[in-house]
Every structure is written in structure tokens, then in C-alpha cells.
Structure 1
Amino acid sequence: MNFESLKPQITAILAEKTERDVKLKNLCQFLSDNVDYYNWVGFYFANLENKTLHLGPYVGAETEHAVIPFGKGICGQVAESNANFVVPDVAAQDNYIACSFTVKSEIVVPLFVDGINIGQIDIDSHVINPFTETDERFLEFVNQEVAKLF
């Protein structure tokens, strides 16, 4: 996968003259359409006072996980650790919140604005172990661009 070729289009999507949630939804759709193992792409945003994550724009299968407490599941762990979390095989992960039996792996990368973790991009895949360090660096770039919207 040549992530470098996707970067200009990501910047262009986020520069569109439309509402932030529309930009984020369009970004999720773009990532889902252009990376074949990105099967569910979405954002969660933190309520730092209540220590909960709230589902933002996403594309993929419906999810009942609209609110996730900090510490619960992969997303909740990233909210506390402020670090990327790659799960090669969700079946082998103890603190995993199952969204669908089709999900085999997950990557979550925190979104920082002014040094504060305000949320994250969450990607599920129907493939075991597709995510590499290249995905991590690419999604860090994505989140650096998204942070400019806040």
C-alpha cells in the first residue's frame, strides 16, 4: 500500500468548505475505499470530565458502542495510555469489546490537540494482522491533519 499517494487527497478532504463532521465522514469513507483492509473506520471523541469516549463520524457496520468508558476495550485503553494500540488478532486480546464477528484485527491511534488526547481514529479489519508500522505512521499523519480542524 502506497500511503504517500493518499496524503494529498486527505489534506484536500479536510480543507473542503463544509462542516467538520462532514469532512470527517468523507475522510472515513476515503480511507475505507482506498485501503482494502480498512473495513470499519471511525472517530471517537473524549469527554475528559466524564472519562468517556463518544462515537463520532464513521463508515462501516453499525455499532452499539456509542459510548466507551476510559480503560474499557482497545479504544478506552488508548484514551488512558495516549499511545497507539495495534491488535493483530482480536480473539487473543483480553480487554476487547467485540463489535462484529467479522472483525479480526484493530488499530487505534490517539488524536492530540495542543498535547491533549481528545479522541482517536479506530480502524477494524476483517483480516488477521494486516496493520504495520507504516499504517501507524500514516494514521498519525491523518490525525495531525484532523487536529487542525479543532
Structure 2
Amino acid sequence: MPFEELKPQVIQLLKNEDQSVTDRLHTICQLLKDKIDYYDWVGFYFKNEDKEELKLRTYVGAETDHVIIPFGKGICGQVAVSNENFVVPDVQAQDNYIACSFTVKSEIVIPLFKNGENIGQIDIDSETPNPFTEKDERFLEFVNQEVAKIL
């Protein structure tokens, strides 16, 4: 499904105030995994209070042991420090990659800002080599901007 068609669905799901924020984030994860065939694991990490670490809030996909990620460690930890998008076409080529599953071939992590502060991120793993484009980046930036409105 094209990203432009998903945008109104993202907005609608996030507006559902009958659900908790975490439940709404989970529905976004499920939507993205279901509608974009190369999104195999979708999750949201957030800064863990005043600690220099990220904590997994919700996700859809294979189970992970990576519930807590220190700043600077792995792709997610690097994004927490750099405040910049990180697209990894081949996870095997990354020295600082935390392997979640041997089936993961690529990853994209987009920081989530609220009032100019990096408070979290959306993390997507793919079992497809090098599937992410600038269109994925722009779409996921849009998702995070919409998510920030309900936090």
C-alpha cells in the first residue's frame, strides 16, 4: 500500500481516545507491519525516564530480548545520541549492530521529537536486504510527528 494512502489511517488510529496511548502506538505498529510487506518488525522505543537508555514500549513482530538499549549501543542507541535517521541496508556490515534475529537483513530507525527533544524512535527491521528508501524515511517522519501530538 502506498504511503500516501496510509497517512489518513495513521491519523485516524491515533485519534482514538478510547484507547490508551500505548494501545494506539501498538495499532500503528500493526498497521505498518500488515500493510508494508518488507516491514517485518515494528516497534517504538522511548527514553527511559532520566536514564541514558531506551525502553521498548510496544512492538509487533518476533519476540525480542532488547527491551532496554543503552544510548550509543546498536542502531537505536546511536539514533538516541545522534538525533538523526539511520538507515542500514545490510545489518551484517554494521559493527555496532545488536542482532535481534538471524533473519533480519536491514533496519531503519527514525527519531521521535517532542518540543524539539528526541524522546524516542520508531524502529523497523526487515528480512529483505536494502528495501528502505527516502520515501520510507519521509513517511516514518510523518508517523512520528503524528505520534508526538498524542504524547
Q: Same fold (TM over 0.5)?
A: yes
1:48: how far off?
5.5
Distance 1:11 1:114 in 2: 19
> Structure 2 vs 1, CA of residues 82 and 48 (structure 1 numbering), >3 Å: closer, same or farther?
farther
Confirm whether residue 88 of structure 1 aligns to residue 86 of structure 2: no
* SS of aligned partner of 1:86: strand
Q: What residue in structure 1 maps to residue 109 of structure 2? A: 108
1:66 counterpart residue number: 67
Within-5 A mapping of 1:139-150: 139-150=140-151
Q: Per-residue CA shift, 1:5-56, capped at 9, x if unaligned?
A: 1100000000012100000000100000000000000000012621000001
What are the Cα deviations for residues 33-83 of structure 1, in whole angstroms up to 9, with x where unaligned?
000000000000012621000001100000000000000000000000000
2:8 corresponds in structure 1 to 8
* CA distance in structure 1 between the aligned counterparts of 2:30 and 2:2, rounded to whole angstroms: 18
Q: Secondary structure at the match of 1:94?
A: coil
What is the match of residue 47 of structure 1?
Answer: 48
**CA–CA separation in structure 2 for the residues paired with 1:92 and 1:50:** 29
Q: d(CA) in 1 for partners of 2:134 and 2:76?
A: 18
Show structure 1 runs of 4+ deviating over 2 A: none
Distance in 2 (alpha carbons) for counterparts of 1:140 and 1:27: 13
Aligned residues: 150
- Identity fraction in percent: 68
Q: Which residue of 1 aligns with 2:31?
A: 30
Aligned to 1:99: 100
Structure 2: how far apart are the matches of 1:130 and 1:15? 30
Structure 2 residues not aligned, in runs of 5+: none
Unaligned residue ranges in structure 1 (runs of 5+): none
The residue identity in structure 2 corresponding to 1:3 is F
Question: For residues 22 and 49 of structure 1, what CA distance do their matches in structure 2 show?
Answer: 24
